[in-house]
Structures are given as structure tokens and as C-alpha cells.
Amino acid sequence: MLRLVASLLLATAATAIAQNTTQVYDYAIAGAGTAGLLLAIVLTENPSINVAVLEAGSDGRTNPNITIPELRGDIIDTEYDWDYYSTVQPGLYRNRSQAVNRGKTIGWNWETLSTAFRESEMFFAPPANASSAEDPDPANHGYSGYICSTLQRSVLSLLSDYVTPALLNAGYAVPGDRNGGNVTGAGFLPLAICPGNYTRSYAGSAYTAVQDRKNLHLYTNAQVTNISWASTSSGNITARGLNYVDTSGRTSNISLSIQADEIILSAGIAGSPPILERSGIGNPDILMPLNITPLVNLSSVGTGLRDPLMMQYQPLQYNFSVEFTGGEYAQNYIDLRPAQDVLSPSDYNAASTWLNSTASIPGLEDAQFTVFKHLWYTRQPLIEMAWQYSSTQSMPYTLVPLSQGTVHINSSDPMAAPVINPNYNSVTAIIGNETVPWDLWFLSRASQFYINELASSAPFSDVLTKTDPDHNLSPADYQQAVFERSGTSQHLTGGLPMLSRAAGGAVDAKMLVYGTRNVRVVDGSIFPYQPSAHPMGLTYAMAVHAAKILQQIKGSKVTYTEEPARSNSSSNATASFPNVAPTVTYNAKGSAVPASSSVTTFTGGAEKMEVGRWMVGGIVIALGWSGSM
């Protein structure tokens, strides 16, 4: 999922801050993204708290490529995208480098994070006449948060009339509202969309509602380069502020600075680790060759980067003998499955034998491997089948990969792109008598087993005429087909794991960077493990809970209750969609096209085409709603 963010520049504000050296904020946040901007919004609910947010990109809140759900992905390779790429990946077909598209514009457990989920959400139940094929439970949702959510506006009949009944006939679970914590199974999940005008709801739209706050200062075209230090004497070091570059051209691109009592990095997986390294926090073997003096020896910085392997270069394709309707708007039918549901008994037992006999994996912290085994044996979701387009295709991916990579700097130039290496398919396993790349093997076997189940279960089987790849291929040939089509899921997390320092962590449970007194990280890089779902909703919840922790540390007013009411008068709010035709929709290939040229009834096509429960302390955190992907 792209992290689309937004920010607003007050006239000549960056220059004014640079000249006002006596200004000291309570918090200075690097990055106005999914976490950083929402964190600032919650913190400044207290008018006595002053927050400055520095965003490298420009203000994109009025750009239709950002606001219209059906145009998701259209900001790739524009000014709102960092346009990063990974290193060459030997574990992928033809050593393909992967695009790492990141937005460039504006004590944790189930109880605390499920509360934060509800606090961040403003849920709208579907209208009574909506064909949502879902029955949300009001007790599992919030109704006064900053991020709107609702179920999709239309339902592709392929999903409601064929996929769901076939899964039930095959013995699969099709649960109700999964925001309650049990996410296993198939069904529609809410989208981060404001139903009134059917536009995306995100941190940028939330900021629009509060942009007149006098204590919230948001600056665009302000790219943070490193942290300035007040004290680097023995013991934990103390930050003074953030150094940044004005990329707008107003100040000749000179280095500027801002001061604050607390520094918070929210620059994401590709931004926060490099800022720490350029500030002297990281592995000395990486810093010293770049003439950066190590201030804190913290080799965990930039480690634990994960990107789930996804069959996205060419998803699973299906041909059918009937036509489908209801594809006018984006779909969000997500099937989350444990290994036991998507592997044959023999494959599951063989894989379990390898897991039982393997004590550790190079590059993977033992604590993380222990968590994976717990997920494996307790039937937690490890594979997703995403039906997200108004077309006859689905995209499988490994929710929790064992392969992990790194993100580091390789230049002292603060404007240079980081070196991003997800290290796909780097973990090998001996399953049966065969040595295989674990993530690829699991994705391939799970996909083939799942499609075979659908292809042999009515009513899906009654109308299916073709699959691509052919589900009847040998396991080896099917794995080769999956290998050729797999790459990034764009759901990268990690790089600054929240673990104990001894276990390979970079930040503690209060988001504090080890070895510092006042530098914290609040973004997806601190996830110690890949969430068994899309990370956006969890990132919003993390921002809300982080704000609460910071308020408690500072002794300031806590603006959210510890356990908000699970039901209130606003829980009866229902979505009221605009009575207008969609401006765009998806064609059978999953591409956004003008509504006038769209096709809403089709039989599918299997021709070749290219398309572009977080675990802490042993507790699974389930993501119940996602963005418009």
C-alpha cells in the first residue's frame, strides 16, 4: 500500500523558522505520513502542546490521483513518490530489482491496540439496501476518530455469488466482522473512504479539518537530513532538533534547523533508519567508511526489513462461462488463511518437520522465529488471497515472510537514496528431501492448493473454464510460474524493530531509540514482526496509541479515554453515498479507466498481463480495515 500523505505550507514558514532560533517546540516530527501527521493531530488536541512537522514532499490533498479511490496507484513515478528501487534481487526471477514506492506528500498488546483502532476510526455502516455481503458489529468499531471507514459501494457478483459459497462448500470459514480480532477467513473488509463524497480518508484529509490550530505547524518541501545534538557525552545522548533542507528553491537549498524537546522520526521504512545513521546512530562498520562519527553503537538500525512476497507481476487469472455485475467500484474481498487451510496434510507435515528441526535462521532474530512458529502452529493467518479489483483475478501473498533484509545509507550525501534490500527468498528450507526457498515454496503450494479447492467446489467450479497458471500443473511447474510472477507487495515494514536491545531491537516499548534520551520512532519501521494483514490500519492505531504514551510521559492531558465506549449514539451512522456515477472504474484487467469506457459485465480473461496481527509479547494484533489499497 502506498503511504499517501499530505501537508500544508504556511507562507515563508520554513524561512521564518530558520531565522527564529529561540523557538523550541515540544515535539518535532520528521515526516507527515500515515503515522507522523495523525500523531501530530492527536498531540495538538491539547492546545498547550506545540508540534512542528517537517515533510519532504509538497501538498497533494487536492490531487484526484490521491483522493479518488479508483485511481489508487496513479501517483507512482510522480512528484509524490520517492521513486526508490531495491537492489538487484537474486531471489527473484531474472534478479529483478523492485520498485519501493513511498509517498512524498503530505507496552503494546491486544487491549491497547484494539482500543487505538477504534479511537482512530469513524465507521459508517453500509446502507440498508447495500449489497455489502457483510454484517459489521458496532461493538468492534469506532465512531469519533479521524479516519473514515465504510464497506465498499458495490459488490462484484463473482465474489458474493460464487467465491463465498464455494469456500463454504469447501469447508472454509467465512466469518462475520473481523475487527473483533478473529481475522481468519474470507470476506469484505472496510475501506478508508469517506462515504459522503466517496473520497479517500487518510492523514491528509484529517489534517484539513484541524489545519487552523495555532499549535500545529506543518512545513512541506522540508527534507530532514539528520538530528542535531545538544549533548553527546557518555551515556544516553540528547537531541536538540532536526536539520533539514528546503527543497522548494526558496532558500537556495541551504541546510536549516528546528529545535524541540522531543524528536520523533516518522519518515517510514526508507526514511527513519537513514536519518538515524546520518546522525551517528547505527553500525560503526557502515558509518565510519562514510566519515560519520558513531555516537551510539546500534547495529540493529536498518535491520529486520520485510516485504511479503506477492504474485503481482501477473496475478492468478480466471475465465468463466458467465458474466458478472457490481464492479463499478473498488473491491476489498480479503481471504486470510493459516497454513493448515492452504497446504495439503503432507506438505504441512513436511514443513512442520523442518520448522521443528530448525533452531535459528541467519538474519532472523530468534525472538522473531519463535513468533513465526507460534503463528504456524496456532492457526494464525500466514497467506492472503486478495480479490481487490473489479476483475477476475486474485493476488496471493505471504503475510509473514521469513526472509528479511536491510535498509542503509551508502553515502554521506543527505539527499542520496538509501540502499534498500528486502532480500526476497533468502531463507532456504529442506522440505521432504528437497531444498527450496521457503517463502516461494509456501506461496506456490498454498496458491495451488487454494485454487484447486475453489475449482472443485460449486458454484465456482460450475462456471470456471480456465485458470492461469493452470491449477493442474505439477507442483514444480506451478512453483516456476509463481516464481516468474512474484515480487513486492508494497507492504514493507521493519528496519527499526521494537524489541529488547539484547534481542536485536532498535527502539523500546515507548518508541525510544536505544542510547538516546529524547529520540523516538513512530512509523511502520518499528513493527517487530510483519502484521498478518495490510499494515495501514495498524499504523494509524499505532500513531494514536503512541500519542497516548507521549502524553503520559509528558504528564500532559490525555485526550483519549483508556477504553472508549464500544457503543454510542453515533454508532448508528450509516453511509450515504453520492448519487452520481463513478468518475472511473476498473476494467477486466484491473486498470483504472474512465467510467464511460468501462466494462461492468465480463467473463474474465486469462491472457498475460502485468500489473504493476502484529506480534508483540506473543499477542496477535489483527488488522480489521485497510486503505483503498
Candidate list 217, 408, 491, 545, residue with the active-site label? 491
Please report how the helices 345-357 and 438-455 are oriented relative to each other, as an axis angle in degrees rounded to 10: 160
Task: Look at residues 623, 317, 353 and name the one whose alpha carbon lies nearest to residue 491.
Answer: 623
The secondary structure of 77-132 as a DSSP string is: TSTTB--EEBPP-TTSGGG---EE--B-B----HHHHHHHHHHHEEEEBPPTT---
The secondary structure of 516-546 as a DSSP string is: BSSEEE-SGGG-SS--SS-SHHHHHHHHHHH
Q: Determine whether 491 is an active site residue.
A: yes
In this structure, the dihedral spanned by the alpha carbons of residues 492, 494, 495 and 498, taken in order and rounded to 10 degrees, is 170
Q: CA–CA separation, 273 vs 497, rounded Å?
A: 10
Beta strands in 371-502 (DSSP E): 383-387, 393-398, 405-408, 419-421, 428-431, 434-437, 464-468, 486-487, 493-495
Q: Determine whether 534 is an active site residue.
A: yes
Q: CA–CA separation, 270 vs 483, rounded Å?
A: 26
Candidate list 408, 471, 534, 545, residue with the active-site label? 534
Task: Look at residues 51, 254, 37, 227 and name the one whose alpha carbon lies nearest to residue 147.
Answer: 37
On the CB side of 73, how many CA atoms lie within 13 Å of its CA?
A: 14
Q: CA–CA separation, 622 vs 579, rounded Å?
A: 34
| Residue 524 is assigned to a ligand binding site | yes
Are 226 and 243 in contact by the 8 Å Cβ rule? The answer is yes
Are 221 and 246 in contact by the 8 Å Cβ rule? The answer is yes
Residues that are catalytic: 491, 534
Positions at the binding site for FAD = 224, 524
